[in-house]
């Protein structure tokens, strides 16, 4: 249970990092890529997948 919680925290932290970098990015290709890689993190975080 604690390990699962720690993994959710890790996922949340990485999602924040991706969103932060996405907002700061000035290159459209990077932005699209950030959106693609963000998808599994957000879905896992909200327990949709």
Partner 1 sequence: MAATAQIVLIVMVITYITIRLFKISTELALFIAALAGAVAGGAGIPARHIVEGAFTYLDIILIFITATLFMNILKESGGVAFVVRGLLARFHRHKAILFVLITFLLLIPGALTGAGSVTVLITGGMIATVLHYMGIPKAKAAAIIFILAGLSAAAPPVSLWAMLTAAGVNMPYVGFFLPLLIPCVVLSLLTIFILGWKAKAVNLEKALEELPLAPARMNWQRVLLPFSVFFLLVAAGRIWPHSLPIIGLPLLFVAAGLSSFLLSPIKLDFFKISRETVQQLLPLIGTLTCVGILVQIMTLTGARGLIAISIVTLPLTVVLLSLSLVLPISEAVLMWGAAPVLGVPLVLLFNTIGLNPIVALAGMSVIWPLGDALPPTAIIGRLTQDTVGLEGSYGQLLKQCLIPAVIIMVAGTLLVIFSKELSFLTLL
Closest to 40 measured CA to CA, from 3, 11, 4? 11
> Which one of residues 5, 23, 29, 46 is an interface residue with partner 1 (CB under 8 A)?
29
Cα torsion through 8, 45, 34, 36, rounded to 10 = 130
If one asks whether residue 33 binds partner 1 (CB under 8 A), the answer comes out as yes
If one asks whether residue 8 binds partner 1 (CB under 8 A), the answer comes out as no
- Between the two ends of the chain, the Cα-to-Cα distance in Å is 18
Residues in contact with partner 1 by the rule CB under 8 A: 2-3, 6-7, 10-11, 13-14, 17-18, 20-21, 29-30, 32-34, 36-37, 39-41, 43-44, 49
């Amino acid at each position: 249970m604690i390990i699962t919680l720690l993994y959710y925290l890790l996922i949340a932290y990485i999602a924040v990092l991706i969103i932060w970098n996405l907002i700061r990015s000035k290159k459209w290709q990077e932005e699209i890529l950030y959106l693609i890689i963000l998808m599994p993190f957000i879905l896992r975080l909200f327990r949709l997948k």
